[in-house]
Amino acid sequence: MNMEYKMGSYNVIVVGAGHAGCEAALAAARMGMRTLILAINLESVAMMPCNPAIGGTGKGHLVKEIDALGGEMGINIDKTFIQSRMLNTAKGPAVHSLRAQADKNKYHLEMKKTLERQEGLDLKQGEVTDIIIEDGIVRGVKMRTHGYYEADAVILATGTFLGGKIFIGSSAYESGPSGLAPSTILAENLKGHGLDMRRFKTGTPARALASSLDFSKMQIQEGDEKIVPFSFLNDELKADQVPCYLTYTNEETHRIIRENFSRSALFGGQIEGVGPRYCPSIEDKINRFADRKRHQLFVEPEGLDTEEMYIQGMSTSLPEDVQQQFYSSIEGLENLEISRPGYAIEYDCIDPQTLKASLEHRQIENLFCAGQFNGSSGYEEAAAQGLMAGINSVLKIRGDEPFVLGRDEAYIGVLIDDLVFKGTNEPYRIMTSRAEYRLLLRQDNADERLTEKSYRLGLATEERYNKYLEKIRIIEEEIKRLESTKVAPGDANELLESCGTAPISGKTALSELIKRPDLGYEVLAPIDSGRPELPPLLGDQVEVRIKYEGYIGKQLERVEKAKRLESKKLPSNICYGDIDGLRIEARQKLDALKPETLGQASRISGVSPADINVLLIYMESNRRKTE
């Protein structure tokens, strides 16, 4: 007979210590809650089972926002990066995205140390097999060892461990990522509690030893000379950066893969889960883009203390002998020695449309969900949700209103709003194109958008808040100076003509010159005698504010229009089945998701603009009746 025994009581328990779990636990503890974070294996803390990097297009925005809200990801990568690059610099500032190659073992160790040292937070190894629910409210978790912990709130951040299954060719076996043990009992028990689960899939490429590769045949990819930190707390970073390398597949690579499609778990029918559209396996790429002669792949170091290189862009579920053949057909990889084969992994996750905007489950009170468990992909998307789940679990315990970011306030707001109200049929990945207000949601102004909110939540420290206030003061003073400082034609025209822009005929404000496409803050330095010495990167932010003032104003007007819908609250007791004119699909979706505002309702798939007009008329009619 199994005797259950109590192991302790906490305010918040986080299940899983990946990128979502770490941010959730740190946020809860820093907001004053006694917090426990549990992992099947402590080697999984902030583990990078796929790409050893943080940031990238769209994802870099999320990391900057996590940092502005008092999260840890930006601070941790600034400590452990081995190469840093700003992507998309040929395009406008709205899509500039920072990406840093990580020393993945150091990243794991630094985050683990941060958890261990955090006051009010306990990090423990142990497998959760069930959640305790009484009267529709979560009360704690059960452990495989028959012990249990009580909790006021539980956050599920299980990543790809839940029901994890690895596929390499015809071989399939239960496993979590990187060969760690999966969570199988919890997967079945969550289904038993009525959670609406689904099956997703992701994958990873092989790792190869650097000593077996010929880098002279590849294109070298150096880091940026001027390193931009992820964390607002860091003004400058210095490091001896290591290079990455670029090479390409070829027709021989494609022939080998095509001839072995039948041996791929993806095409062989073994895999049931839906994979990410924007990060397909190499066999999927070759099948879908049959006319392409080559695909690029990046060869990236996994750390300073290992020979292993990550072959980015070559995720696969083909058997090991085929992997050896097709990798060896690529220039520079002819003699590669595979240390870890690529694999696909299936796992269980929840339908995110069963969650509120706070990431609390709609039916089980005080149960919050975050990360890949919510159907997203990527470390950054996971960390962003973990942070928000951690914050909202604390607010729920306190009896305060939830903290929900709008689509105009943060990429985090776009990410969660998309998941909860639009849903996803594949692992969701953030992209700049998903945001309607990209020019407002730049990387460089994440602190301006979110630090005040973080400070009110108790996450931003006094040091961070005062530094933020000083930054705003400096930027505003410098913009005023540029608006009031005018240059004469005799002082400016030689420089203007050398830059290929029209000369001026009278005294002109420096701010007006900065607005020209061919000019910028640094370009005008030779004719700006009163320029102060600004802290690093602030000159760029001054330029963006001035240059894009008109566009930013237009986006703000659009935001105000959208807020009119967001401000119209839908009654909590509304019965959509009784509203004439609503289509059947709209009634079903609105009843299931119970949006709080007309704005949220308008973003639900299956609810048309005509349905929104019907709701507007219904609400106005009710208002008149009440009056």
- pTM for this one? 0.93
* Residue in 380, 256, 367, 228 with CA at minimum distance from that of residue 322: 256
- Which residue shows structure tokens 């909860």? 420
> For the purposes of burial, counting CB atoms within 10 Å of the CB of 17, is it exposed (0-12), middle (13-18) or buried (19 or more)?
buried
Query: Residue 48 in contact with residue 104, Cβ under 8 Å?
Result: yes
- Relative to beta strand 486-487, strand 508-509 is antiparallel
H or E element in which residue 301 lies: strand 296-301
Per-residue pLDDT, 266: 77
* Sequence spans of domains, the chain: 5-198+347-457, 207-346, 462-555, 568-626
CATH code of the domain made up of 207-346: 2.40.30.260
What is the chain's percent helix, strand, coil content, to nearest 5?
Answer: 40, 20, 40
Give Cα separations from 426 to 51, 201, 262, 278, 385 (angstroms). 19, 8, 24, 10, 17
Q: Quick check: do 5-198+347-457 and 462-555 share a fold? A: no
Torsion of CA 421, 422, 427, 428, to 10 degrees: -90
Per-residue pLDDT, 1: 52
Q: Which amino acid is at 414?
A: V
Per-residue pLDDT, 275: 79
Per-residue pLDDT, 153: 98
Topology (CATH) of 462-555:
Arc Repressor Mutant, subunit A (1.10.10)
The pairs formed by 452-460 with CB atoms below 8 angstroms and a separation of 24 or more are 453/69, 453/403, 454/68, 454/69, 454/70, 457/31, 457/69, 457/70, 457/391, 457/403, 458/30, 458/31, 458/32, 459/27, 459/30, 459/31, 459/69, 459/70, 459/71, 459/391, 460/68, 460/69, 460/70
Q: Residue 322 corresponds to which tokens in the numbers above?
A: 């085929």
d(CA 287, CA 292): 10
Class level of CATH domain 568-626 = mainly alpha
- Which residue shows structure tokens 């289509």? 583
DSSP alpha helix (H) spans, 215-301: 251-259, 282-288
Per-residue pLDDT, 229: 96
Count Cα neighbours of 315 within 13 Å in the Cβ-side half-sphere.
Answer: 21
Per-residue pLDDT, 54: 97
Which residues are CB-contacts of 423 (< 8 A; sequence separation ≥ 6)?
351, 352, 353, 605
Query: Residue 25 in contact with residue 14, Cβ under 8 Å?
Result: yes
Per-residue pLDDT, 586: 87
End-to-end alpha-carbon separation of the chain, Å? 65
Please give the CATH architecture assigned to the domain spanning 5-198+347-457: 3-Layer(bba) Sandwich (3.50)
> For the purposes of burial, counting CB atoms within 10 Å of the CB of 190, is it exposed (0-12), middle (13-18) or buried (19 or more)?
buried
Taking the CA atoms of the chain, what radius of gyration do you get in angstroms?
Answer: 26
| Backbone phi, psi, residue 252, to 5° | -70, -40
- Chunked into runs of 10 residues, the chain (627 residues) has average pLDDT values of 87 98 98 98 96 95 98 98 94 89 98 98 98 97 97 97 95 94 96 95 96 98 95 92 97 96 83 79 90 95 97 95 97 98 96 97 97 96 98 98 96 96 92 89 95 97 95 96 95 94 95 94 94 88 92 88 82 86 87 86 83 84 76
d(CA 485, CA 479): 10
Give Cα separations from 209 to 101, 176, 299, 307, 537 (angstroms). 17, 23, 11, 5, 38
- Which residue shows structure tokens 């870099």? 60
In tens, the pLDDT along 1-54 reads 568 999 999 999 999 999 999 999 999 999 999 999 999 999 999 999 999 999
Count Cα neighbours of 354 within 13 Å in the Cβ-side half-sphere.
Answer: 19
Q: Residue 208 corresponds to which tokens in the numbers above?
A: 């190869």
